[in-house]
């Protein structure tokens, strides 16, 4: 895609970072935190947000030295053609795999809670139609979609407030129950919930006002932190410390608590809204992966390339029936791989930049 023609606004840049971070991980995060360090673990989300912000700023600083280049040119700028191509290929494979797993996980939720009799591959076909349109539309269409979905995210969080009629604040008191050590040990778990900031590297050249990029990543990470803290505390005050560690997806479970006099099965409606919020994650990941592969292999017919991938997704779902157990294992792989990318890529780029500067000085001398 032409970087010069396709541009996104500062507001869209913020929402795209926020949108990629807030995904399926939010649904199980309260249970995972409670299992590791109890109800004091919500504090670790704040530390995770600070770490994510610092890494995001570092990504921006790296990008500022090659601001208008595409994904491939950026990596070759720091690492050379051979190593840069290998890193981009691995990143693209990771993005596509992550997007596919998130898509399948969302479909399993739909099948379990709403459409029990519908086959997985049928749901995949239905979801891939708008996914294909968004990906082939380019970054500006994707940015507009994320912008349009954002009010639903705010509405969903407001609706969670209606679950607070039967709560017990004593569940989270005292705030620090077992000291700071358990909280610090939980930080790696919270850090995985902020995965997706590495896509700043691909967003940046499309940004109109690049001088506001650092401000944008700070705001985006702050929004994600507030969202996670808000959702986690709500779950902690509704369920006892024992109960929450036994509930598979606490956020989905509390939706069934919301009731209005003239609306039946409101949880179905809210669950559908949450799926639209999650859709930003898989669409963006697949788009980033496909863009990287297309640039690497100089694929001209991008729409046909995306169509072939969608067909492969359908065939894969038909031949290998997905389950919650399988996708949980795959999400663990994504989490481990994401942490390696989140920390390893900026270090590798920084080393590559230092080596490049040293070689340039030797040539000059």
Between CA 249 and CA 245 the distance in angstroms is: 10
The verdict on residue 46 lying in a domain is yes
Quick check: 33 and 177 in contact, CB under 8 A?
no
Residue 74's alpha-carbon distances to 78, 81, 241, 261, in angstroms, are 7, 10, 47, 56
Quote the pLDDT of residue 17: 93
Which residues make Cβ contacts (< 8 Å) with residue 90, sequence separation at least 6? Answer: none
Which tokens hold the place of 343? Answer: 């920390």
Note whether residue 356 is domain-resident: no
The stretch 149-160 carries a mean pLDDT of 86
CA distance 138 to 318: 28
Assess if residue 170 is contained within a domain: yes
What is the band of 250 on the pLDDT scale with cuts at 50, 70, 90? Answer: confident
SS3 264: coil
Alpha helix (H) residue ranges in 172-212: 181-185, 187-192, 200-203
Burial class (CB in 10 A: 0-12, 13-18, 19+), 314: middle
Average pLDDT over residues 151-175: 83
pTM reported for the whole predicted model: 0.91
Across 202-301, the runs of DSSP E, i.e. the strands, are none
Residue 307 near residue 290, CB atoms below 8 Å: no
Torsion of the alpha carbons at 355, 356, 360 and 365, rounded to the nearest 10? 0
Is position 182 within any domain? yes
In a domain, 4, yes or no: no
Looking at the 3D structure of the chain, how many domains does it have?
Answer: 1
Span 168-172, average pLDDT: 83
pLDDT tens digit string along 51-74? 999 999 999 999 998 888 888 889
The 10s digit of each residue's pLDDT in 175-222 is: 888 788 888 888 888 877 888 888 999 999 999 989 999 999 999 999
Could you tell me which residue, 91 or 176, shows the higher pLDDT? 91
Q: Are 205 and 295 in contact (CB under 8 A)?
A: no
**In the structure, what pLDDT confidence band is assigned to residue 174 with cuts at 50, 70 and 90?**
confident
Residue 88's domain comprises 10-351
Q: What is the pLDDT of residue 365?
A: 53
Residue 12: name the closest of 138, 139, 199 by CA: 139
Distance CA 292, CA 2 (A): 13
Give the pLDDT of residue 263: 65
Contact assessment for residue 26 and residue 274, using Cβ atoms and an 8 Å cutoff = no
The pair of three-digit structure tokens given for residue 186, joined into one six-digit string:
């939980």
Q: Is 328 part of any domain?
A: yes
The answer to whether residue 362 sits within a structural domain is no
**Close Cβ partners of 29 (under 8 Å, ≥ 6 residues apart):** 190, 193, 228, 231, 232
Q: Are 24 and 174 in contact (CB under 8 A)?
A: no
- Domain harbouring 310, CATH code: 1.20.1740.10
CA distances from 6 to 2, 79, 145 (A): 6, 26, 15
């Amino acid at each position: 895609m032409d970087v010069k023609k396709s541009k996104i606004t500062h507001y869209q840049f913020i929402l795209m970072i926020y949108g990629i971070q807030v995904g399926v991980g939010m649904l199980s995060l309260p249970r995972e935190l409670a299992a590791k360090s109890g109800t004091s673990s919500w504090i670790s989300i704040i530390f995770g947000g600070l770490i994510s912000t610092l890494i995001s700023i570092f990504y921006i600083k790296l990008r500022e030295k090659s601001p208008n280049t595409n994904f491939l040119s950026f990596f070759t700028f720091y690492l050379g053609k051979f190593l840069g191509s290998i890193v981009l290929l691995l990143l693209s494979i990771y993005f596509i795999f992550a997007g596919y797993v998130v898509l399948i996980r969302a479909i399993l939720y739909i099948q379990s809670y709403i459409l029990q009799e519908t086959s997985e591959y049928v749901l995949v076909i239905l979801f891939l139609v708008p996914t294909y349109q968004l990906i082939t539309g380019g970054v500006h269409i994707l940015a507009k979609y994320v912008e349009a979905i954002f009010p639903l995210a705010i509405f969903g969080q407001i609706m969670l407030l209606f679950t607070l009629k039967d709560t017990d604040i004593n569940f989270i008191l005292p705030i620090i129950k077992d000291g700071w050590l358990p909280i610090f040990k939980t930080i790696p778990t919270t850090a995985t919930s902020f995965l997706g900031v590495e896509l700043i590297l691909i967003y940046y050249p499309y940004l109109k006002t690049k001088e506001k990029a650092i401000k944008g990543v700070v705001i985006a990470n702050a929004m994600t932190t507030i969202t996670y803290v808000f959702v986690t505390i709500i779950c902690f005050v509704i369920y006892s410390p024992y109960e929450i560690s036994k509930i598979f997806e606490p956020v989905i479970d509390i939706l069934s608590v919301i009731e209005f006099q003239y609306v039946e099965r409101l949880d179905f409606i809210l669950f559908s809204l949450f799926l639209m919020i999650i859709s930003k994650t898989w669409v963006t990941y697949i788009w980033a992966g496909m863009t990287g592969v297309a640039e690497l292999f100089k694929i001209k017919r991008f729409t046909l390339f995306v169509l072939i991938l969608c067909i492969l997704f359908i065939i894969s779902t038909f031949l290998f029936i997905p389950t919650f157990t399988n996708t949980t294992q795959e999400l663990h792989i994504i989490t481990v791989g994401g942490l390696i990318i989140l920390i390893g890529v900026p270090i590798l780029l920084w080393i590559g930049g230092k080596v490049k500067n040293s070689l340039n000085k030797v040539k000059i001398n």
